[in-house]
Structure 1
Amino acid sequence: RHVVGEVQQLIQLFVEKSQSAGYFNPTSNLVVAVANVMSAFCFGKRYSHDDQEFLSLLSKNDQFGKTVGAGSLVDVMPWLQYFPNPVRAVFENFKGLNRDFYTFIKDKALQHRETFRADTVRDIMDAFIQIIDYEKTVSDKGVKLEREYVDSTVTDIFGASQDTLSTALTWIILFLVWRSDVQERLQHEMDRVLGRDRIPTIDDKPHMPYLTAFLFESLRFSSFVPITIPHCTTTDTQLNGYHIAKDTVVFVNQWSVNHDPDKWLQPETFDPGRFLNENGSLNQDLLSSVMIFSLGKRRCIGDELSKMQLFLFTSILMHQCTITGNPTEELTLDFDYGLTLKPKPFSIKVTLR
């Protein structure tokens, strides 16, 4: 419900901007739309696209993404934080942005605790408060979960999800503009499965293999999270004959996994059809080979939720709209590097079908 309502608001905004300004950069509106979905999940509240407090918060999260590279350097070379140097300055900024974002979430937790009712769970934060504050949950290893776990866990969910999802959607729209033939095929699949009388729902996903193939190819081709956030080994480990000592900082190179020529035929070619068998069904082996949310017990906890949102955002947009690029601009697939790879600015025009 939250996702569908937000996409409909986004389409209305896109059409209004197209009618008044012609071509526009969709990035900021995608960020707000995705953040609103997660805000509704986490806090039970959505914001308007011109709410200055919310825009300021999202701006901090964007700056966080741009400076996180410095944090990665300090993870690898911790001595950099102990004397003046450019990396230390950026790292201090990184920590300040993190504090500001955490303070916002902490204030939300305080507000929720003041109005909490055990018989009415309004959102994710209420659910965590009930489990940790009232049920006194203890982990499998006997560790009591403290009240602060609510703040830190919701910070991770809200902060990470809105940046990665909005970046994924920006790449998806760029690919739709770049490959109008793919956009037309998606619309044809929509019309065949749905007709024009209703919008897509998550239940329609099994009947739209080309859309699923397009989404996975967008994730693979862009690999917009090229390297995972750092993890650390908790014990001495052997992996493929290599010894990895305890407390070693480990990153996963997801870009190399998604562009491995031994796994992918012509990996530098954008081809959603690679995920389809001859009979039009999905190749599940190849789908499972795309790595964007990491793997194992420490993979992104929002994996399935993110894929659901990407499906609904993209399917509703394609069912309701046609997206075209600005003919006066040279379309590029270049990007800016940070926590995620973000496409260079581009502008679009959206018309209702």
Structure 2
Amino acid sequence: MAWILCVLLFSAVGLALLVLQVKLRAAVRGRGGPPRLPELPVIGSLLSLRGDRPPHVLFQELQATYGETYSLMMGSHSAVIVNHHMHATEVLLKKGRTFAGRPRTVTTDVLTRDGKDIAFGDYSPTWRFHRKIVHRALRMFGEGSASIEKIICRESQFLCGVMCEATSRGMALDLSPELTRAVTNVICSLCFSSSYRRGDPEFEAMLRYSQGIVDTVAKDSLVDIFPWLQVFPNAGLRLLKECVAVRDKLLQKKYNEHKADYSDHVQRDLLDALLRAKRSADNHNTAHPGAEALGLSDDHMLMTVGDIFGAGVETTTTVLKWAVAYLLHHPQVQQRIQQELDTKVGLDRTPKLSDRGCLPYLEATIREVLRIRPVAPLLIPHVALTDTSIGGFRIRKGARVIINLWSLHHDEREWENPERFDPGRFLNKEGTGLVLPSPSYLPFGAGVRVCLGEALSKMELFLFLSWILQRFTLSVPAGQEPPSLEGKFGVVLQPAKYKVNAVPRPGWEAN
């Protein structure tokens, strides 16, 4: 009998807490908060987020019930979902500093040594100082794009050589590891003055750790929603820690080598530029007592390079894989790009960055790929640093704000037939120049937290695709279906694996 009384007592307490919480939330809405999904004690709104649809699609669909901007509870954390460009612009640009915070989660803390990077680090004086140093280093190394272009073209040449080799053997090719190595070598050349050959054990280890991180970090897993769960065995968290350990071992090795033979008189790469900027800042802090509180540790430098790898490898490689997948589905788009290349570049030379202005259809195609399959459909969450508002809705300090880039890029009010792949939407009526048809296009984010790798990524996308399409016609291997366009949700939206036939175009058979 006693156990029945206990059950009734706990049920009564639970019901009372539920009613109280509902009333409190209703009071918040009454004071001007955004519409909120139903919620329960402890678990919040998780029951409303069930199903097999990825979060960005589900969040888009929930607009029909709750409006363009609404809120929900992820466990004990309040999250505001923004699905329209006007509110997204308010968060990112008009109130960029107000919403510049980042949430602390278990997985991102593991990835970044408790937020000592740029992408996931919380907004603070130290973060601003850190970002300033990184920008200074980027200016010191390769402010002009000539050296970067040379590196990308070198890797494009190697990539095309691998494709030729596969063609000569009559083999369909999985471009994923080849694209990953090419992009990785660009970043390694920029950061460490080094590169990898096929089959290099260190490169293979890098491939494994990168995929492990993509599969486990920042996916709103239960351990991020309920941090106390990390005391229990967790396969995903264990995998993440193992992958981060492999990454950090590699980065530490490169960092130690650079520190050992660093010289103020020679600047070999971006890591040298970072070390120089850090030493200059440290000297300034020594000369100005009180400034040392903003000093950056070696961990900050390592996590900065980790950021550059994350932004510069996984995202760019993913966009390239999506671009090839869509070209396989739309051979007429591929043909038009090749016609443009034949007319404006020809066969006498390879494409250069200076050709971007005269290859508008290729540029439009890249923009359309970034629109229809945004590499990060949910931008990294922001945090409100003060009580504020979005679109007239009151937002409390500490609330997480998620920009649903998928909704912005698939808004039927902004894009005609948004599910249709149509590079022409980014061209003027004559097809001779680029246009931005809607402000609802933010593939790299905007404002204070804009993606660090945006400029480099755009250069790589243009050069890799122009080199490949100048030399090869890509097609689906005989007997196989075109690649799936669904995508696998994670920290980036990855396409499923697929293979491609690459046939050398006339004039490039021997190259």
TM bucket normalised to smaller: over 0.9
Residue in 2 that maps onto 1:335:
487
Instruction: Name the Cα RMSD after superposition.
Output: 2.1
Which moved further from structure 2: 218-227 or 237-246? 237-246
Is the CA contact (8 Å cut-off) linking 1:2 and 1:40 kept in structure 2?
yes
Does structure 1 residue 18 correspond to structure 2 residue 170? Answer: no
- The gaps in structure 2 that reach 5 residues or longer are 1-149, 506-511
The SS at the match of 1:243 is strand
Residue in 2 that maps onto 1:119:
265
Does structure 1 residue 248 correspond to structure 2 residue 396? Answer: no
Is the CA contact (8 Å cut-off) linking 1:223 and 1:254 kept in structure 2?
yes
Q: Output one character per residue of 1:67-119: Cα deviation in whole Å (capped at 9) or x when no partner.
A: 125555544x234534537xx43234323322331232122111101011111
Is the CA contact (8 Å cut-off) linking 2:485 and 2:495 kept in structure 1?
yes
Is the CA contact (8 Å cut-off) linking 2:328 and 2:474 kept in structure 1?
yes
Q: Output one character per residue of 1:208-265: Cα deviation in whole Å (capped at 9) or x when no partner.
A: 1101110000111112321122333322222112222223233221111110111101
Closer, same or farther: CA 290–70 of 1 in aligned 2, 3 Å: closer
Is the CA contact (8 Å cut-off) linking 1:132 and 1:147 kept in structure 2?
no
The SS at the match of 2:501 is strand
Which moved further from structure 2: 63-72 or 302-311? 63-72
Q: Trace 1:226-265 onto structure 2 (pairs within 5 A).
A: 226-265=377-416
Residue in 1 that maps onto 2:114:
none
1:156 deviates by: 0.5
Residue in 2 that maps onto 1:344:
496
TM-score, normalised to structure 1's length? Answer: 0.92
CA distance in 1, matches of 2:212, 2:487: 16
Residue in 1 that maps onto 2:433:
282
Is the CA contact (8 Å cut-off) linking 2:185 and 2:194 kept in structure 1?
yes
- The gaps in structure 1 that reach 5 residues or longer are none
The SS at the match of 1:159 is helix
The percentage of aligned residue pairs carrying the same residue is: 32
Q: Trace 1:87-106 onto structure 2 (pairs within 5 A).
A: 88-106=234-252
Residue in 2 that maps onto 1:38:
187
Residue in 2 that maps onto 1:110:
256
Does structure 1 residue 293 correspond to structure 2 residue 444? Answer: yes
Indicate the structure (1 or 2) with the bigger Cα radius of gyration.
2
1:20 deviates by: 1.8
CA distance in 1, matches of 2:156, 2:440: 29
Is the CA contact (8 Å cut-off) linking 1:237 and 1:245 kept in structure 2?
yes
Q: Output one character per residue of 1:29-80: Cα deviation in whole Å (capped at 9) or x when no partner.
A: 11111111111111110100210111111211111101125555544x2345
- The one of 50, 58, 61 equivalent to 2:199 is 50
Residue in 2 that maps onto 1:78:
226
Closer, same or farther: CA 187–82 of 1 in aligned 2, 3 Å: closer
CA distance in 1, matches of 2:228, 2:214: 20
The SS at the match of 2:321 is helix
CA distance in 1, matches of 2:331, 2:346: 21
Tell me the matched-pair count: 349
Which moved further from structure 2: 22-31 or 238-247? 238-247
Q: Trace 1:148-167 onto structure 2 (pairs within 5 A).
A: 148-167=299-318
The SS at the match of 1:323 is strand
Q: Trace 1:200-215 onto structure 2 (pairs within 5 A).
A: 200-215=351-366
